Structure 1
Amino acid sequence: MPLFFEETAWRFWDQSLSAKSRSALESFAADDTLCELVGAGKSAPTVRTWVHDDTVVLGIQDHRLPHIEKGMDVLKDYGFTPIVRNSGGLAVVLDAGVLNISLVLSEKDNAIDISAGYDLMLDLVRELFPEATIEAYEIVGSYCPGSYDLSINGQKFAGISQRRIRSGIAVQVYLCVEGSGAKRAEIIRDFYNAGLQNEETKFTYPEIKPETMASLSELLGRKITVQEVVIDLHDLMERPAPMSLQPDETELYGFYLNRVVERNRKMLERPLE
């Protein structure tokens, strides 16, 4: 286990079951809340696990697709709810087989630049799956491609992102644990095909190749469940005490939730120019 994790007293907030049927907007509000609390020294650094049912989280550039309404209709036909995230990146799939982990740290207490934040999450994922050779580089053909795509034998199963606000850092990873990575990629491929309609755009959207993506269960050749990974993570972090939001923190959470819900509403009602 990296020394940083061993030397840090962690707060552990597991929402892998409790948040599933609720909007993923609540999770973005939760991480923003934790960023402010941890950044201000009002909370210990926090590990938060979260899962949401059948949602596609769009990025700002996705919302600039020339036929975004048709693209979102495709997502709805698949049974997925589209939302727009309050940070960068491109479309990702959330469902019951995808585990998200957020590490929320203080910029004041930790000299963690952007690269170090990514590396911290990479180290954690490698510790969770020590039997695998996990590499970090861009997987061309995957959805939401980036330099910290996590892959095994060239197939992507995870991606890492960061959000920094009010002296707090939220390093987030989505892990495709169960099910078919290729089927998730097909949804995003069809979304882009419908949203582009073969039009040329200034921004280059990824050309999705479903075979570039897989779940950990597929890659490791054994059945792995989201709950198994949550338990392994809790044990790896030396079993920190569970702690959800406390009564004196809920008002701040309400502020951030209202903000992300209103922003999402405006984005979905009024496509960007």
Structure 2
Amino acid sequence: MTARVRGDGGPSPADAGGVRLLVDDDTEKVSGRDPAREVLTSLLLLHRVAADAGPAVVRVFSPEPTVAFSRRESLHPRFSEAAAVACAAGYLPIVRPAGGRAVVLDADWLVIDVIHPERDRGADAEIFRARGEQFVGLARRWGVDARLGPVPGEYCPGDWSVNAGGRVKLVGTAQRVVRGARLFTASLPLRVTPGARRLLDRVNGILDLPWDPVTAGSLADETAVTEAVVRADVTAFFAGVDARRVRLHDLIADAAEALAALSGDRIVTSS
């Protein structure tokens, strides 16, 4: 059964009472990290939770420079051109496990993954709505006029985006469901650099994805909240104060081999 989530920014009874694992990335402060490993870890954990039927797993991390494409975009006739543009800018092109459209991610973003066991498939739209409202509640705590809903012309458009003042997109969300588990992932820009904005503009243009660059917002544009506070808040909210911290290789002994196998299965695509 899908855990119930409240839309007022407070923890739901199911979230508060469930045991959770918080996966620490012990390479996050190390230069030269592997962006493919970061993205594929989400898929690896999804299958682990599905196989073991829990406990739920949470990750909060800032990725290496990555352009995350959807599987649908990888079939576009000019996808190789878009991937080459990403590589030339120093961003690795990846076909991500969840849905959506192209997103340019780097160390100025936070990615929040929540993976939980699911015996019977829940309603995708309801989970999008409820989780989105939780992010609205968090953003309002940080002083943002946050609202749930898309902004016309936003990148990676979706009905359940979180916006600031109805003007700019602030949080993008996506899901991936397999038998026995669900991945809910959110991307939150702390800042959007001019270079990242230009790259997203070029990639969207190549892939014929209409968007308005002014709709790409960030926390830095809306509030003075610090990155440390944001990290602490999202970790405490989604993992809980009683979450057990684990490292990936302690949780999945053959993680390196499994990640290599996923890479070879064309989940990661580079020019």
Of 135, 140, 152, the match for 2:152: 140
Partners of 1:11 and 1:115 lie apart in 2 by 25
Is 1:189 aligned with 2:201? yes
Q: Tell me the TM-score normalized by structure 2.
A: 0.81
Of 235, 238, 244, the match for 2:247: 244
Match of 2:112 in 1: 101
Partners of 2:191 and 2:84 lie apart in 1 by 25
Match of 1:235 in 2: 236
Of 262, 265, 271, the match for 2:264: 262
C-alpha contact 1:35 1:167 (8 A) present in aligned 2: no
Structure 2 counterpart of 1:138, one-letter code: P
Structure 2 counterpart of 1:234, one-letter code: T
Deviation of residue 264 (structure 1)? 3.0
Is 1:68 aligned with 2:117? no
Structure 1: tracts of 5 or more residues without a match: 197-204
Match of 1:166 in 2: 179
Structure 2: tracts of 5 or more residues without a match: 1-9
Partners of 2:268 and 2:187 lie apart in 1 by 26
Deviation of residue 250 (structure 1)? 2.3
Match of 1:207 in 2: 210
C-alpha contact 1:137 1:150 (8 A) present in aligned 2: yes
Aligned in 2, Cα 1:103/1:215: closer, same or farther, shift over 3 Å?
same
- Number of positions where the alignment pairs a residue of Structure 1 with one of Structure 2: 255
Structure 1 counterpart of 2:148, one-letter code: A
Partners of 1:43 and 1:115 lie apart in 2 by 23
Matches for 1:34-113 after TM superposition, within 5 Å: 34-41=45-52, 43-108=54-119, 112-113=122-123
C-alpha contact 2:173 2:184 (8 A) present in aligned 1: yes
Deviation of residue 246 (structure 1)? 5.2
Is 1:155 aligned with 2:180? no
Aligned in 2, Cα 1:42/1:22: closer, same or farther, shift over 3 Å?
farther
Partners of 1:9 and 1:111 lie apart in 2 by 20
Deviation of residue 19 (structure 1)? 7.4
Is 1:125 aligned with 2:128? no
Aligned in 2, Cα 1:101/1:248: closer, same or farther, shift over 3 Å?
closer
Aligned in 2, Cα 1:54/1:32: closer, same or farther, shift over 3 Å?
closer
Partners of 1:190 and 1:246 lie apart in 2 by 37
Query: What is the percentage of aligned positions where both structures have the same residue?
Result: 19
Partners of 2:260 and 2:55 lie apart in 1 by 24
Q: Tell me the TM-score normalized by structure 1.
A: 0.81
Deviation of residue 223 (structure 1)? 5.0
Aligned in 2, Cα 1:63/1:36: closer, same or farther, shift over 3 Å?
closer
Deviation of residue 20 (structure 1)? 7.0
Structure 1 counterpart of 2:233, one-letter code: D
Aligned in 2, Cα 1:96/1:19: closer, same or farther, shift over 3 Å?
same
Deviation of residue 106 (structure 1)? 0.8
Aligned in 2, Cα 1:245/1:138: closer, same or farther, shift over 3 Å?
same
Deviation of residue 266 (structure 1)? 7.9
Match of 1:202 in 2: none
Deviation of residue 52 (structure 1)? 1.5
